[in-house]
A and B are shown apart, each in its own frame.
Chain A
Amino acid sequence: MKKVLQGLLSAGLIVGLLAGCAGGSQPASTSSAGAASAAADGAKTIRIAAVDPQVPLDMQQCTYSIVMRITDNVAESLVTCQKDGTLAPLLLEEMPKLSDDKKTYSFTLKSGVKFHDGTTLTSSDVKYSLERLVKEQSMASLMKYVVGYDAMEDGSASELSGIKAVDDTHFTITLSQVYSPFVSVLSTPYAAIYPKAACEAAGKDWGVKTLIGTGPFKLDSYTAGTGAELSKFSDYHGGDLKIDKVSYKFIEDPNTQVLEYQKGNVDFVDLDNSLYPVYSTNATLKDQMHSYQQAGGYYFNFNVKTIKDPKVREAVSLAIDRKSICDSVLHGTASVPTSFIPSGLIGHDPDAQPFAYDPEKAKSLLAEAGYANGFDLRVTVNTKLSLGKSIATAFQQEAKAAGINVTVEPVDSAAWSDMKKNGGMECSISNWYVDYNDPDSMLYPISDSRTDTVSSFWHNDKFKQLMNDGIDTDDTAVRQKIYEQAETILTRQDYAIAPLINETKFYLLNSKVTGFEIDSTDRMNFTKADIQ
């Protein structure tokens, strides 16, 4: 009797479970019917699946691209980078004028530009914002060539003496040395212009409770774990907007994000490259898949204190079967780089060959360096970077052919930052993308002042000199030569880093959304977006 009861009970349970599954798919199909982003009240809303930044929405403090994805709509910089990579004035009447000694830039602000709180943009707001960038430290070095930077850094001054407000709409910025990418720097999200009075009044609440800019959308709310709500700014200086609201929904897991998209609950979702076949074979999703190329990619960052011999670093580079990783593990969504400086930037050598895969040569190099019996390599990956994990796992197996025993060390973001700072990494899979289309931005993580803070410790006098020469001139042909040389030292002589892959990024976008773009610096633009 007991057995019979047990049988009945388990049968009942199974039926219940199956019914549960079937029931689960029911609401999905009904809600996708209502997936049109225009709500019943006529307001046009674009819903974005995003990851909770868990930090203030202020790029001057927190330099995460997930923060930028939100703040870019709210706060604007003086200039903007266009699709073709050229710069255009955004809050300015025209591009700044450069003095004869190439050190002083004169700016004229667009008149009548309003902040979301109704105040008018003035030169003092610009001066305040750029000085705040230095005070907030994270990206202060962007301003390091502005006169007065050193005094502000060592605390002897509270302002950048190089920035002078002439009147409400005119100001000048004087540099201590020629720095050709300076206007590009002003296009980055770090150089966003905030209203002085409101920002000072908000204090610690800036980016948490309030964030005010001149952008097309106002920040209505930012709720940890839930999302951020933006609504149209009717006084926007850039013309009328077609959509009324942008709603960011925080969803941690990338799979859940896609499921929400399939259910029709969000209109935009980023895709994971390692899951490319899952989406590309899905009849409905494949037509809604879009891609863009971000300038930059993944690379091995070597700690030259622990891996002293460049021969060993070269051997590691030769042991990576980049082509197989790109073609198989990443399903053709990435390409083998020929240089660290990606194509489209000054300094990229169009004739350079892809980085080679030659385990035999790697073996002999290791033998020359005294590791004939194999070399142990610890590769640290950030668990947040799923692509890094994929590359590390594939490489672990590939490296055996070259006699390299790889231990993969996955760490969370907090441990990752700590290890970078205290030099605890031997070799890490890092990624870097330009903030502005200039080799100076690409080479930033391995510039002389940075390497001690990212567990690299690589210093090369020639390279340092070339980096300085590169910003000292605005002659493109000269700069091309300089950065080509720098690239050679970096990736083909000293092997301070080993470029791994340049990936194409994919996202799903509701086919009803038009006029939406992401550029090569990963910046989203909703000003021309509409919902059909």
Chain B
Amino acid sequence: MKKFFSFFNKQKKFEEDILNGEMEYSSYYKDSLKRFRRNKAAMFCLSIIVLLGLVALLASIVAPYDPSYQDYTSVLAQPSAKHWFGADEYGRDILSRIIYGTRVSLSIGIFAQLLASIIGITLGAVAGYFGGIVDSVISRIMEIFSAFPDLIFAMAIMTFMGKGVLNLYIALGLLTWVRTARMIRGAVIQLKEKEYVEASRASGGTSFRIIVKHLIPNCLSTIIVLVTLGIPNAIMYEASLSFLGLGIQPPTPSWGNMISAAQSVIGFLPVYSIMPGIAIMITVIAFNIFGDGLRDALDPKLRT
């Protein structure tokens, strides 16, 4: 019995401390950051992502050569001091092309996810909030989109719209918005029953205001995780599409089209296919572990 009362006393003291400024108030995101910092693997991957971002931004400084410069004396050259990863079938430096390829991969990942998020969040929130016929219609659209095998769907879009970087962003955005929309719809259905939503509605808040001001911000952690885990997905799809000749077009270097070009000389110049492969692997793993770390950190239920 005594124990029971001591709990209330503790709670009281805790509230008083915060009010008196003797104890620091810790917000949800602050807590999450703290938790994230403790995850060493995720922190390491974050540093890799930052590094990749820097490489992409500073490609022109980091890369030893122009990615489309053809050194005719080094066609299919093996790795050497001159060309660390060798040179491709036109004598272009493979290392430089991988470095410039970072730009393509990261930008595809980010822009495709941005587009997917915009479509997914809007439709997901609308479907979840209004329910009924609106939800039915949007849900059926989502089902139609997810009924096709992903890669074939992306290939169809690319064939229909034509090749090019911009079209690739759109194709991959269209491919991945369904997942975002589903998650947001689910979250919004739960959240819309909360008191603060009712309070907002009671005080005359419009549907738009409730969605934008209250519901979406409360889904932010879900969105962040979805975007981070969606980026490696988009990078993989870009590589697959470029490998199949439907993605980035030459001479723009992309890891996917490098591997595609390298397959014919895989026995002769193995670094040519291995190096872009490693680049894809590192990037995808880094984003995945980083995303996992974020999810663990942002989900209070997983608090240890």
Q: Which residues of A contact B (CB under 8 A)?
A: 254-255, 272, 274-275, 277-278, 281, 324, 327-329, 331, 383, 390, 393-394, 396-398, 408, 410
CB distance from A350 to the nearest CB of B (A): 29
**Beyond A327-B72, A329-B75, is A390–B89 a contact (Cβ under 8 Å)?**
yes
Q: Cβ of B280: which chain A residues have Cβ within 8 Å of it?
A: none
CB distance from B179 to the nearest CB of A (A): 25
Cβ A410 vs Cβ B90 within 8 A: no
Q: Cβ of A327: which chain B residues have Cβ within 8 Å of it?
A: 72
Q: Which partner residue on chain B sits nearest A408 by CB separation?
A: B250
CB distance from A102 to the nearest CB of B (A): 52
Cβ A277 vs Cβ B268 within 8 A: yes
**Beyond A277-B268, A329-B90, is A397–B249 a contact (Cβ under 8 Å)?**
no
CB distance from A319 to the nearest CB of B (A): 14
Cβ B250 vs Cβ A393 within 8 A: yes
Q: Which partner residue on chain B sits nearest A277 by CB separation?
A: B76
- Give the A-B pair count, Cβ closer than 8 A: 51
Q: Which partner residue on chain B sits nearest A259 by CB separation?
A: B267
Cβ A397 vs Cβ B72 within 8 A: no
Closest 7 CB pairs of A and B: A328-B72, A278-B268, A328-B75, A324-B72, A397-B70, A255-B264, A397-B68
CB distance from B96 to the nearest CB of A (A): 14
Q: Which partner residue on chain A sits nearest B66 by CB separation?
A: A397
Q: Cβ of A281: which chain B residues have Cβ within 8 Å of it?
A: 268
Q: Cβ of A274: which chain B residues have Cβ within 8 Å of it?
A: 89, 264
Q: Which partner residue on chain A sits nearest B91 by CB separation?
A: A328
**Beyond A329-B90, A383-B245, A410-B249, is A397–B69 a contact (Cβ under 8 Å)?**
yes
Cβ A393 vs Cβ B251 within 8 A: yes
Kindly state whether residue B263 has any CB partner on chain A within 8 Å: yes
Kindly state whether residue B265 has any CB partner on chain A within 8 Å: yes
- CA A422 to CA B250, docked complex, whole Å: 26
Q: Cβ of B251: which chain A residues have Cβ within 8 Å of it?
A: 393, 396-397, 408
Sample of 8 more A-B contacts, CB < 8 Å, known A274-B264, A329-B72, A396-B251: A255-B263, A277-B76, A328-B75, A383-B245, A394-B70, A394-B90, A397-B251, A410-B249
15 A-B contacts (beta carbon < 8 Å): A255-B263, A255-B264, A272-B264, A274-B89, A275-B264, A275-B265, A277-B268, A278-B267, A281-B268, A329-B90, A393-B250, A394-B70, A396-B250, A397-B251, A408-B250
Q: Cβ of B75: which chain A residues have Cβ within 8 Å of it?
A: 328-329, 331
Kindly state whether residue B27 has any CB partner on chain A within 8 Å: no
- CA A327 to CA B75, docked complex, whole Å: 10
Cβ A328 vs Cβ B250 within 8 A: no
- CA A100 to CA B247, docked complex, whole Å: 64
Q: Which partner residue on chain B sits nearest A392 by CB separation?
A: B250
CB distance from A325 to the nearest CB of B (A): 9
- CA A385 to CA B200, docked complex, whole Å: 66
Q: Cβ of B268: which chain A residues have Cβ within 8 Å of it?
A: 275, 277-278, 281
CB distance from A488 to the nearest CB of B (A): 31
Q: Cβ of B263: which chain A residues have Cβ within 8 Å of it?
A: 255
Kindly state whether residue B80 has any CB partner on chain A within 8 Å: no
CB distance from B254 to the nearest CB of A (A): 14
Q: Which partner residue on chain A sits nearest B75 by CB separation?
A: A328
Q: Cβ of B69: which chain A residues have Cβ within 8 Å of it?
A: 397
Kindly state whether residue B6 has any CB partner on chain A within 8 Å: no
- CA A324 to CA B251, docked complex, whole Å: 18
Q: Cβ of B70: which chain A residues have Cβ within 8 Å of it?
A: 328, 394, 397-398
**Beyond A393-B250, A397-B251, A408-B249, is A329–B89 a contact (Cβ under 8 Å)?**
yes
Cβ A393 vs Cβ B265 within 8 A: no
